[in-house]
Amino acid sequence: MQTTFEKNGFKKRLTSMLKVDFRRMFTTPLYYIMVGISLVIPVLILVMTSMMDGMVSVDPQTGAETVMEGFDNVWQIFGSLSSASAGGASMAGGMSLTAMCNINMLYFGVAVFVCLFVADDFRSGYAKNLFAVRAKKTEYILSKTVVGFVGAASMLIAFFVGAMIGGGVAGLPFAMEGFTVGNFVACLLSKILLSSIFVALPLLAAVIAKQKGWLSILLSLGFGMMFFAVIPMVTPLDATALHVVLCLVGGAGLCVGIGAISTLVLKKTSLV
């Protein structure tokens, strides 16, 4: 008897893989832990820095006094205005607590999430099953990028919700000075679009490190550092449609490029 084989098109394969990856993401505790952390962090930051605002700490050796400065405004936790970034204030701001503890640090959380999610594929042997029977490497990378991007977007939105709650609890002003609601939406959208780079990079690290999750986290933090400095510049609070387009094109372009490298790594290395 002649064995016949049905044709499995790209669309069919990708759709089924996406279904599985989304199902996995939405059923894994890791996703809810990361989204939960993203929700809680801004609340903690805003509440705690507000409580410490104005506190004076004295260095026992030098006697120098340091006044703790909290957030002046809820929106500060999302970044700074482009005009301020362009000036000398950005450097000073970069050293302050409010500039360090903002939404941008969430990109490292995204990296950790993607690394652990992908490492789980290799650790459990799921990836081995996948590649043995059906999947093409390109589809795997594509599926993981899409799912990781949705995960990253969820975390950023959770951060936004957390910041609103935290701002309310801390009693911080919601007044917008120097930017509009439209600017802020563009800022958030730019950050979400930019997160695709912070999904593609850890994905590359994860396919290099395979089941070694810790190694992929280290690698992705290293890779991420190269792009981290760019985030405040391309996603200021007073972002415009141009920033959105820039992040869309840049994010997509880099995503495709890094994704191609990831696919190549998968093709050229052993999967077990």
Partner 1 sequence: MNAIEIKNLTKNFGEKQALSGLNMTVPEGSIYGFIGENGSGKSTTEKIICGLIHPSGGEVKLYGRPHTDGDVRAKIGVLIESPGCFPGCSVWNNLLIQAANLGIKNPQEEVRKVLKTVRMEGAASNKYKNCSLGMKQRIGIAMALLGNPTLLVLDEPINGLDADGMRIMREVLIDLAQNHGCTIVVSSHLLGELEKIATHYGIVRGGKMIREMTAEELEASCPTFVALQAKDMPLTKRVLAEKYARVEEDESGYLRVYEAKNVQEVVTYLYGKGIIVSEIKRAKIGLEEYYIDLMKGKGDR
Query: 101: helix, coil or strand?
Result: coil
Stretch that binds partner 1, among 12-20, 158-166, 177-185, 211-219 (CB under 8 A): 12-20
Least distance (Å) between residue 2 CB and partner 1: 7
**Binder to partner 1 among 100, 124, 182, 226 (CB under 8 A)?**
124
Question: Does 32 participate in binding partner 1 (rule CB under 8 A)?
Answer: no
Question: Does 13 participate in binding partner 1 (rule CB under 8 A)?
Answer: yes
**Binder to partner 1 among 74, 99, 118, 130 (CB under 8 A)?**
130
**Cβ proximity to partner 1, 127 vs 186, nearer residue:** 127
Question: Does 129 participate in binding partner 1 (rule CB under 8 A)?
Answer: yes
Question: Does 207 participate in binding partner 1 (rule CB under 8 A)?
Answer: no
Q: Retrieve residue 52's tokens.
A: 């410490």
Compute φ and ψ for 112, nearest 5 degrees: -60, -45
Residues 6+ apart with CB under 8 A from 257: none
**Cβ proximity to partner 1, 127 vs 192, nearer residue:** 127
- The whole-angstrom distance between residue 38's C-alpha and the CA centroid of its chain comes to 10
Query: 62: helix, coil or strand?
Result: coil
**Cβ proximity to partner 1, 30 vs 221, nearer residue:** 30
Question: Does 33 participate in binding partner 1 (rule CB under 8 A)?
Answer: no
Q: Are 81 and 237 in contact (CB under 8 A)?
A: yes
Least distance (Å) between residue 113 CB and partner 1: 16
Least distance (Å) between residue 5 CB and partner 1: 4
Question: Does 126 participate in binding partner 1 (rule CB under 8 A)?
Answer: yes
Give residue 225's identity as a one-letter amino acid code: M
Per-residue contact string for residues 210-249; x = within reach of partner 1 by CB under 8 A: ----------------------------------------
Question: Does 264 participate in binding partner 1 (rule CB under 8 A)?
Answer: no
Question: Does 24 participate in binding partner 1 (rule CB under 8 A)?
Answer: yes
Q: Which residues pair with 32 in a beta bridge?
A: none
How buried is 140 (Cβ within 10 angstroms: 0-12 exposed, 13-18 middle, 19+ buried)?
buried
Q: How many helices (H) and strands (E) does the chain have?
A: 13, 2
Query: 239: helix, coil or strand?
Result: coil
**Binder to partner 1 among 91, 134, 225, 253 (CB under 8 A)?**
134
Q: Are 119 and 91 in contact (CB under 8 A)?
A: no
Distance CA 29, CA 250 (A): 31
Widest CA span of the chain, in angstroms? 91
Binding site for partner 1 (CB under 8 A): 1-3, 5-8, 12-13, 15-17, 19-20, 23-24, 27, 29, 120, 124-136, 268, 270-272
